[in-house]
Amino acid sequence: MTENPDPERRRALLIIDVQNDFTEGGALGVAGGAAVAAGISDLLARHPERYDEVFASRDWHDGDNDNGGHFATAAEPDFIVTWPRHCVAGTTGAGYHPDLDTSSVGWHVRKGQGRPAYSIFEGTIDDGESLNEKLDELGITDVDVAGIATDYCVLASARDALESGRRVRVLSDLVAGVAEESSAAALATLALAGAEITRSG
What is the identity of the amino acid at 62? D
Residue 6: inside a domain? no
pTM of this prediction?
0.93
Q: How many domains does the chain have?
A: 1
Residue 1: inside a domain? no
Q: What is the dihedral of CA 21, 103, 61, 155, to 10 degrees?
A: -70
Over the chain (201 residues), what is each successive 10-residue block's mean pLDDT?
67 98 96 98 96 97 85 83 89 98 97 91 92 97 98 98 98 97 98 98 86
Residue 41: inside a domain? yes
Segments forming the whole domain that contains residue 20: 11-198
Q: What is the pLDDT of residue 71?
A: 86
Residue 194: inside a domain? yes
Residue 5: inside a domain? no
Burial 136-174 (b: 16+ CB within 10 A, else e): eeeebbbbbbbbbbbbbbbbbbbbbbbeeebbbbbbeeb
Residue 83: inside a domain? yes
Q: What is the pLDDT of residue 80?
A: 81
Q: What is the pLDDT of residue 174?
A: 98
Q: What is the pLDDT of residue 58?
A: 97
Residue 103: inside a domain? yes
Residues carrying an active site annotation = 17, 111, 153
Residue 29: inside a domain? yes
Alpha-carbon separation of residue 189 from 95, 159, 163, 185 (angstroms): 30, 9, 14, 6
List the one residue out of 91, 74, 121 whose CA is nearest residue 27.
91
Q: Residue 135 maps to which CATH number?
A: 3.40.50.850
